């Protein structure tokens, strides 16, 4: 039976005004398992009106009470962790084990972090000689538009809506129409824990219709978006015409630099995990590996061996490590890069096409094998464009300077990884890399207090910690002048 999802507006599920729905495909099987609203400007306007009506009361609610409500939301989500993990796996094609241990726990952590962060924030005051006191106020902006992608649906949706709600804004959220399921279920949790109606509204639909209407709406002063660079550029231009506050977390083509002094037994499995987690559909994936030429041959041999042992299969199977890509269109896009590798005579050491065998249930699913390439030119599209799939290039380097030049030689600058035992070299290379976050001897080790975002075409603005709290608040200076006179 095909389930019909709805929008969540003013605390209840509502159908789209047009009555139109889109199919929601299960990537592992290629079959439709749900329908999602194909919302448009009318639905967005309805949601914005609900959010505007709820804003005065929510913005004036004491921080301790907003914190309590967000913690209740986190608790409600945690009580249904298994249900959400299975829904996320079914909707995205990712292994159930990954959804259970990363996606849903991280969403819970996001709500809890920002629920408590607002109880410990501070502002500034400046005594101007003995003549005045300047106080900085940080006030909620109003209705925040939060647009999230398909690769980590609930994880990144919560990453945006949690700080927006915590700081006293109301929200109209637009999840990806490709992976709408857990956002819909989150609406159910909001209802179950008696979250105030209108504070969080969730409108499903396509980017060019629902997403564009949210960005263009005159009563939405702040937009946060995670997605592709081309879409982000268009969104940013549209928002700029209305002087909206914008945060854009865009693409990544992230380098991992492996120096010759490392322990390959430790580094290789982590490099494989960084490359192929979530089938490489991760803005933080380490998809460009640069390896010291002294250990290049041994590293490549071990990397291929470890990647070749990844268990590709049904995402619902507990033993699966590598699932399906999110859609047929995206699978075909990634497959086109494999064709490009053959045209350019790159050496395909692993993969390059669909898996040799799959369970019967998954025969029509959107699967591609982990793919490892060497011999790719620095100017190749394989090296410069975000494939956003399980395709990795490995390239040798002779010096740290050459490695940095290769790493920085593209338009993206989201994340990077350095593997070395030399701490001095790690400091120097990290400072030289053009990336918003640099991991040294680890990958995806996150502290939610730290800023997150990219340089160059990887976006503008930062999320996380105080950066997020500041983005969702308007800064106001209040100057209080003292009367002149003596102390009495």
Is 160 found in the same domain as 17?
yes
CB 151 within 8 Å of CB 282: yes
3-state SS string for 154-213? HHHHHHHHHHHHHCCCEEEEECCCCCCHHHHHHHHHHHHCCCCCCCEEECCCCHHHHHHH
User: What is residue 485's predicted lDDT score, i.e. its pLDDT?
Assistant: 63
CATH of the domain at 338: 3.40.309.10
DSSP state of 5: P
Is 236 found in the same domain as 216?
yes
Is 276 found in the same domain as 150?
no
User: What is residue 130's predicted lDDT score, i.e. its pLDDT?
Assistant: 84
Is 356 found in the same domain as 264?
yes
**Residue 272, in any domain of the structure:** yes
Domain assignment of residue 297, given as a range: 254-440
**Residue 483, in any domain of the structure:** no
Q: Which tens digits make up the pLDDT trace of 126-184? A: 999 889 999 999 999 999 999 999 999 999 999 999 999 999 999 999 999 999 999 99
| Rounded Cα gap, residues 39 and 16, in angstroms | 5
Q: Which of 217, 278, 192 is nearest to 203 (CA)?
A: 217
Residues facing residue 32 across a β-bridge: 25
Flag whether pLDDT at 462 surpasses 90. yes
Coil vs helix vs strand at 32: strand
Q: Which of the following is catalytic: 249, 270, 434, 463?
A: 249
Residues facing residue 201 across a β-bridge: 172
| Rounded Cα gap, residues 439 and 48, in angstroms | 39
| Rounded Cα gap, residues 269 and 259, in angstroms | 16
Q: At 287, phi and psi to the nearest 5?
A: -95, -10
CATH of the domain at 176: 3.40.605.10
Question: How confident is the prediction for the chain on average, in pLDDT?
Answer: 97
Tokens 């890069």, residue located: 337
Is 258 found in the same domain as 246?
no
Is 124 found in the same domain as 51?
yes
Is 190 found in the same domain as 322?
no
| 249 part of the active site | yes
Flag whether pLDDT at 408 surpasses 70. yes
> Counting beta carbons within 10 angstroms of the beta carbon of residue 125, is it exposed (0 to 12), middle (13 to 18) or buried (19 or more)?
exposed
User: What is residue 487's predicted lDDT score, i.e. its pLDDT?
Assistant: 57
| 442 part of the active site | no
User: What is residue 461's predicted lDDT score, i.e. its pLDDT?
Assistant: 94
**Residue 446, in any domain of the structure:** no
> For residue 260, what are the contacts with CB-CB under 8 A and spacing of at least 6?
292, 294, 295
Is 466 found in the same domain as 434?
no
Q: At 332, phi and psi to the nearest 5?
A: -65, -35
Cα distances (Å, whole numbers) of residue 97 to 120, 204, 222, 321, 363:
34, 26, 35, 8, 21
Q: Which tens digits make up the pLDDT trace of 207-232? A: 999 999 999 999 999 999 999 999 99
**Number of domains the chain is built from:** 2
Q: Which tens digits make up the pLDDT trace of 356-397? A: 999 999 999 999 999 999 999 999 999 999 999 999 999 999
Q: Which of the following is catalytic: 190, 283, 386, 463?
A: 283
Q: Which tens digits make up the pLDDT trace of 235-261? A: 999 999 999 999 999 999 999 999 999
| Rounded Cα gap, residues 275 and 463, in angstroms | 23
User: What is residue 1's predicted lDDT score, i.e. its pLDDT?
Assistant: 83
User: What is residue 323's predicted lDDT score, i.e. its pLDDT?
Assistant: 98
User: What is residue 488's predicted lDDT score, i.e. its pLDDT?
Assistant: 62
**Residue 391, in any domain of the structure:** yes
**Could you tell me how far CA 112 lies from the centroid of its own chain?**
18
CB 194 within 8 Å of CB 167: no
**Residue 447, in any domain of the structure:** no
Flag whether pLDDT at 484 surpasses 80. no
CB 220 within 8 Å of CB 245: no
User: What is residue 369's predicted lDDT score, i.e. its pLDDT?
Assistant: 98
Q: Which tens digits make up the pLDDT trace of 427-436? A: 999 999 999 9
- Look at the chain and count its residues: 488
Is 40 found in the same domain as 85?
yes
Is 376 found in the same domain as 299?
yes
**Residue 101, in any domain of the structure:** yes
Cα distances (Å, whole numbers) of residue 29 to 25, 313, 347, 361, 365:
8, 11, 31, 6, 4
**Residue 198, in any domain of the structure:** yes
Flag whether pLDDT at 73 surpasses 60. yes
**Residue 449, in any domain of the structure:** no
Q: Which of 327, 225, 348, 229 is nearest to 281 (CA)?
A: 327
Is 389 found in the same domain as 314?
yes
Q: Which tens digits make up the pLDDT trace of 10-26? A: 999 999 999 999 999 99
Is 271 found in the same domain as 209?
no
């Amino acid at each position: 039976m095909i389930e019909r999802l709805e929008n969540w507006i003013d605390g209840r599920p509502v159908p789209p005004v047009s009555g139109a729905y889109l199919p929601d495909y299960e990537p592992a099987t290629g079959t439709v398992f749900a329908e999602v609203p194909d919302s448009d400007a009318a639905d967005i306007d309805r949601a914005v009106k609900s959010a505007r009506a709820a804003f005065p009361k929510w913005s004036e609610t004491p921080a301790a009470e907003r914190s309590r409500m967000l913690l209740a939301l986190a608790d409600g989500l945690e009580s249904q962790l298994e249900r959400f993990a299975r829904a996320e796996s079914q909707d995205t094609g990712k292994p159930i084990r990954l959804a259970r241990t990363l996606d849903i726990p991280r969403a819970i952590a996001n709500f809890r972090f920002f629920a408590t962060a607002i109880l410990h924030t501070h502002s500034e005051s400046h005594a101007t000689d003995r003549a005045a006191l300047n106080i900085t106020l940080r006030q909620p902006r109003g209705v925040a538009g939060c647009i999230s992608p398909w690769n980590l649906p609930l994880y990144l949706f919560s990453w945006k809506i949690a700080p927006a709600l915590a700081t006293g804004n109301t929200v109209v959220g637009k999840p990806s129409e490709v992976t709408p399921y857990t956002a819909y279920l989150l609406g159910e949790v909001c209802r179950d824990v008696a979250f105030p109606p209108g504070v969080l509204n969730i409108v499903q639909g396509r980017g060019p219709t629902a997403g564009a209407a949210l960005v263009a709406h005159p009563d939405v002063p702040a937009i946060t978006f995670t997605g592709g660079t081309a879409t982000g550029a268009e969104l940013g231009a549209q928002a700029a015409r209305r002087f909206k506050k914008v945060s854009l977390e865009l693409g990544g083509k992230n380098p991992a630099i492996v120096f010759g002094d490392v322990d390959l037994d430790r580094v290789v499995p982590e490099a494989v995990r960084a490359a192929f987690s979530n089938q490489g559909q991760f803005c933080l994936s380490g998809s460009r590996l640069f390896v010291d030429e002294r250990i290049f041959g041994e590293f490549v041999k071990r990397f291929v061996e470890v990647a070749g042992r990844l268990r590709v299969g049904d995402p619902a199977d507990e033993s699966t490590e590598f699932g399906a890509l999110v859609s047929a269109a995206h699978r075909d896009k990634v497959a086109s890069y494999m064709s490009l590798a053959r045209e350019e005579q790159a050496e395909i050491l692993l993969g390059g096409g669909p898996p040799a065998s799959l369970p019967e249930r998954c025969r029509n699913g959107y699967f591609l094998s982990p793919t490892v390439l060497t011999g790719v030119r620095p100017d190749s599209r394989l090296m410069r464009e975000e494939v956003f799939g399980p395709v990795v290039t490995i390239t040798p380097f002779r010096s740290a300077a050459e490695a940095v030049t290769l790493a920085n030689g593209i338009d993206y600058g989201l994340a990077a990884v350095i593997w070395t035992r030399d701490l001095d070299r790690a400091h120097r290379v990290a400072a030289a890399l053009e990336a918003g976050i640099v991991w040294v001897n680890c990958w995806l080790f996150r502290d939610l207090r730290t800023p997150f975002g990219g340089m160059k075409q990887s976006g503008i603005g930062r999320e996380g910690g105080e950066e997020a709290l500041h983005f969702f608040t308007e800064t106001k200076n209040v100057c209080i002048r003292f009367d002149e006179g003596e102390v009495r």
